A and B are shown apart, each in its own frame.
Chain A
Amino acid sequence: KNEVEQSPQNLTAQEGEFITINCSYSVGISALHWLQQHPGGGIVSLFMLSSGKKKHGRLIATINIQEKHSSLHITASHPRDSAVYICAVREEGNEKLTFGTGTRLTIIP
């Protein structure tokens, strides 16, 4: 069983829809990261969370430490949001980053 599980693996939605991507993990963590990867490979760090909720523009990330669960929400989705979204956790103690397998999001105009 992977230490970091993401769902769904693939998501296709119409422009304007509200998007939710989920991440569950099994280890103790010091932080959780949400990353965005566009075709071509470049990765952008969207959020780093250790508790609560963060918002940046149309993106919102939440984390529940007790339930070992995080969600990434995109409001008013747009075709330019099409990308792979990756959840990564920084393990408490060894501080290594462990990655989920990613969610491929496609927004149709």
Chain B
Amino acid sequence: KAGVTQTPRYLIKTRGQQVTLSCSPISGHRSVSWYQQTPGQGLQFLFEYFSETQRNKGNFPGRFSGRQFSNSRSEMNVSTLELGDSALYLCASSLEALRPYEQYFGPGTRLTVT
């Protein structure tokens, strides 16, 4: 079974631009969570989607948004990019609908904002 895939793997953007990152979960997994990892703040939870609905949200500004499609693929969008948005963005998928549940992480998208 293929693992979680994320595209693109690397991205360079300029301040003020917007960016869309994509995550394809493991086949059959209906939950997708997104995380941001920076050297200063470490790993932080962004949001979680289950069956196309946002089930949980972290403490990030409204510039960070996401969605999930009927095939469970998910995208996250960051608008009006700031230098501080440079980070590794990870998504993770899980099978179970009930919590707690095991998560499987993708390789991440490394975003650099210049």
Contacts and interface: CB of A to CB of B under 8 A. Distances in A.
B100 interface: yes
A108 interface: no
At the interface, is chain A mostly helix, strand, loop or mixed?
strand
Interface in B40-63: 42-45, 56, 58
Contact of A99 (B43, B99, B104): B43
Contacts of A100: 42
A66 interface: no
Contacts, number: 51
User: How many B residues touch the partner, as a band?
Assistant: 20 to 34
Contact of A94 (B56, B92, B107): B56
Nearest to A49: B100
Top 7 closest pairs, chain A to chain B, by CB: A31-B100, A99-B43, A43-B105, A41-B108, A30-B100, A96-B45, A90-B100
